[in-house]
Amino acid sequence: MTMNECMQIVQAAEPRLLTRLRELVEIESPSRDKAAVDRAGQLVSAWAEALGATVKRHKQKHFGDVLELKFGPARSPKQRALLLGHLDTVWPIGTLATMPWREAEGKLFGPGVLDMKSGVVMALEAIAAAKQLAAERPVTLLLVSEEEIGSPISRPITEKIAQQCSAVFVLEPAQGLAYKTARKGVGHYQLRVQGVASHAGVDFSSGHSAVLEMARLLQTVANFTDLSKGLTVNPGVVRGGTQSNVVAAECIAEIDVRIVKASDAARVQRLFRGLKVTDKACTLTITGGINRPPMERKPGTIQLFQQARAYAAEIGLALEEASTGGGSDGNFTAAVGVPTLDGMGSVGSGAHAAHEHVVKKHLVERTALLAAMIAGS
Ligand SMILES: [Zn+2]
């Protein structure tokens, strides 16, 4: 199998890839709308079945069903690869009215086109190409339904299936033109301070301000940031008090945490648990924790990347690797010890933004590269 063969096969399939991408983008699928996400899932399952997949639906009550699509022989000397994607988008129903599918200046626009409906369609074409090359490798395409809200129900399914595979290819968008070999871990904490309310003019001294107490606490929290370790702590939201003439009874802060090393999770947890109020009449409640472990740059992942870079070089592409502060489901599969290569989806920009788009000219080569990664080992 050569990259040129992969390119020829995918090139011939490009019209189908583009038609399907449009069809999938035009089925809106916000994370919290089960019926909508299931509609997108139905379309993709039908395509997968036509390609010979066995479809296993992990049924869900409150979210779209999680789709496990299995291709290739059940038994094979080659180890199974997992292609990992999501069907949901951040865009509410009705977005198409203001952000319709359109093609302009070599770019494809539409809600979820980059993150990651193109990744899903590319995965199917890559699997089809590998099949045409008679690569007997078993492949699972796992499509979750709620990645954009942190994968609350699919995480255990993803982890279990990943552990039956020798490699995970994540269909999230590329970083520029690069594949992603590391991602930060993500955490969220909420601080809630309960103070004592009073009239700021008549009865100032009997009040204990939750807002002031929070201000002191946030000073401490801000110092948890350690840029040399890639550890960041961001109090992104603060809500507190009712009126300027009332000593505030309550204040809440929402804090985002990012870590590079898995071992920093415990350290961050200790720091938050160690927070204490200065004004003893105030009480502090802390909730939250690290919910996505970091995807560390491990040898297995580096090996996958080097393999991809060698294939890319065959067609004159200089593939680069990158790391990002953003999380994906690749964080989960990497943390359970399965070599994971991320950012294997399409090239474009504006994920979660009104100008979200895919650069059309990269679709074929990226899909061919994915096909080579499936077929080549
Ligand atoms: Zn995504």
SS in 3 state form for the chain? Answer: CCHHHHHHHHHHHHHHHHHHHHHHHCCCCECCCHHHHHHHHHHHHHHHHHCCCEEEEECCCCCCCEEEEEECCCCCCCCCEEEEEECCECCCCCHHHCCCCEEECCEEECCCHHHHHHHHHHHHHHHHHHHHCCCCCCEEEEEECCHHHCCCCCHHHHHHHHCCCCEEEECCCCECCEEEEEECEEEEEEEEEECECEECCCCHHHCECHHHHHHHHHHHHHCCCEHHHCEEEEEEEEEECCCCCEECCEEEEEEEEEECCCCHHHHHHHHHHCCCCCCCCCEEEEEEEEEECCECCCHHHHHHHHHHHHHHHHCCCCCCEEEECCCCCHHHHHHCCCCEEECCCCCEECCCCCCCEEEHHHHHHHHHHHHHHHHCC
Terminal C-alpha separation, the chain: 10
pLDDT for 377 equals 61
Tell how far the Cα of 191 is from the centroid of ligand 1, in angstroms: 28
pLDDT for 77 equals 86
Tell how far the Cα of 112 is from the centroid of ligand 1, in angstroms: 9
Tell how far the Cα of 231 is from the centroid of ligand 1, in angstroms: 23
Indicate the burial class of 89 (C-beta count within 10 angstroms; 0-12, 13-18, 19 or more).
buried
Tell how far the Cα of 89 is from the centroid of ligand 1, in angstroms: 8
Tell how far the Cα of 84 is from the centroid of ligand 1, in angstroms: 10
Tell how far the Cα of 115 is from the centroid of ligand 1, in angstroms: 5
pLDDT digits (tens, 9 = 90+) for 1-36: 889 999 999 999 999 999 999 999 999 999 999 999
Tell how far the Cα of 277 is from the centroid of ligand 1, in angstroms: 39
Tell how far the Cα of 371 is from the centroid of ligand 1, in angstroms: 20
Tell how far the Cα of 328 is from the centroid of ligand 1, in angstroms: 7
pLDDT digits (tens, 9 = 90+) for 291-340: 899 999 999 999 999 999 999 999 999 999 999 999 999 999 999 999 99
Q: Which residues pair with 248 in a beta bridge?
A: none
Tell how far the Cα of 104 is from the centroid of ligand 1, in angstroms: 23
Tell how far the Cα of 152 is from the centroid of ligand 1, in angstroms: 15
Rg (CA), the chain: 24
Tell how far the Cα of 199 is from the centroid of ligand 1, in angstroms: 49
| Per-10-residue mean pLDDT, the chain, length 377 | 94 98 98 98 98 97 98 89 98 97 98 98 97 89 96 97 97 97 96 98 97 98 96 97 98 97 95 97 97 95 98 96 95 97 98 96 98 89
Tell how far the Cα of 86 is from the centroid of ligand 1, in angstroms: 7
Tell how far the Cα of 25 is from the centroid of ligand 1, in angstroms: 14
Tell how far the Cα of 288 is from the centroid of ligand 1, in angstroms: 23
Tell how far the Cα of 352 is from the centroid of ligand 1, in angstroms: 9
Please state, in angstroms and rounded to a whole number, the distance separating the CA atoms of residues 305 and 310: 9
Tell how far the Cα of 121 is from the centroid of ligand 1, in angstroms: 14
Kind of pairing between the strands at 357-359 and 250-259: unpaired
Tell how far the Cα of 45 is from the centroid of ligand 1, in angstroms: 19
Tell how far the Cα of 1 is from the centroid of ligand 1, in angstroms: 30
In contact, 143 and 69? CB cutoff 8 Å:
yes
Tell how far the Cα of 245 is from the centroid of ligand 1, in angstroms: 45
